[in-house]
Amino acid sequence: MALRVRPLTEEERAEIHRRAQSRTEPARVVERARIIGLMHQGQRVREVAQRLQIGADVVRQWAKRFNAEGLAGLQDRPRSGRPETYTAEQVGPVLAAALTDPRTLGLPFSAWTLDRLATYLHERPAEAGGPLPISRSQINRLLTGEGLRWRKQETWFGERVDPQFAEKRGPSNGSAPRLLRGVWSSTWTNSAPRAPRATPA
C-alpha cells in the first residue's frame, strides 16, 4: 500500500504552509514542510522526491515521522553520546603552551599554528610533562572553548575574546615548562613557513 500522509489539523496545515513558504527558516525545515505539504496534496513518494530532487527514502522518513508524531516529528533528533569534555590534565598544558612564546621553549619559531602546537604536545619530553596525545581538531575546540581566538590569517593565538575570561573562569591546572631543549623535528625548520610575529589583536 502506498505511503500517505494522514489528515492534517488546521493548526498543522497552517504551520506546514508557513514553514514551506518561509525564507528565514533553515533549509532542512523548509524541505520537510514541503514534503508533508506535497504529500498532503496527494502526490506520491516518488513524485515528491523528483520534484524536490531528494531521495525517496528521505521522503518516506519524514512522512512516517509526521504520521507518528505530528509537527514534533519534523524536529531534529538529539545527538547521541555525551558532549565532549576535557580534563584539567588536558586543558592546563594545552592552554599554557598556546599562551607561551615558542622561543622561550627553545623552539625555532616565534608563533604557534595548530600543526606546530599539536606536534609540540605530541613530542613533549618527560621533563616537560611527556607526550600529550591530543588531536589538532581537539586542540582547536579546546582553545576556542577556553576563550582564545584563533587568527587564521596571521596563524597565531592572540588575545582572548573576553579580556576578563581568565578571571571569570578561575585558574587552570598546569603550566608551560620554562625551557625546552632537545631535538625538534627537522620539518619545522626546513618546510614550515615563517609565522608572523604576534602583535596585539
Per-residue pLDDT at 180: 45
Per-residue pLDDT at 195: 42
Q: pLDDT-based confidence at 11, cuts 50/70/90?
A: very high
The DSSP H or E segment spanning 200 is none
Between the CA of residue 134 and those of 31, 114, 171, 196, 199, what are the distances in Å? 39, 11, 21, 25, 27
Lowest-pLDDT choice from 86-90, 95-99, 196-200 = 196-200
List, in sequence order, the alpha helices (H) in 22-87.
Answer: 27-40, 45-52, 56-69
Lowest-pLDDT choice from 3-17, 53-67, 77-91, 112-126 = 77-91
Helix (H), strand (E) counts: the chain: 9, 2
Residue-wise pLDDT tens digits, 165-180: 445 455 544 444 444 4
Q: pLDDT-based confidence at 141, cuts 50/70/90?
A: confident
Structural domains for the chain: 10-74 (1.10.10), 88-190 (no CATH)
58: number of Cβ within 10 Å: 16
Per-residue pLDDT at 81: 61
Cross-strand partners of 55: none
Cell readout for 30 is 523548509
In the predicted model, is pLDDT for residue 152 greater than 80?
A: no
Q: pLDDT-based confidence at 38, cuts 50/70/90?
A: very high
Q: pLDDT-based confidence at 89, cuts 50/70/90?
A: low
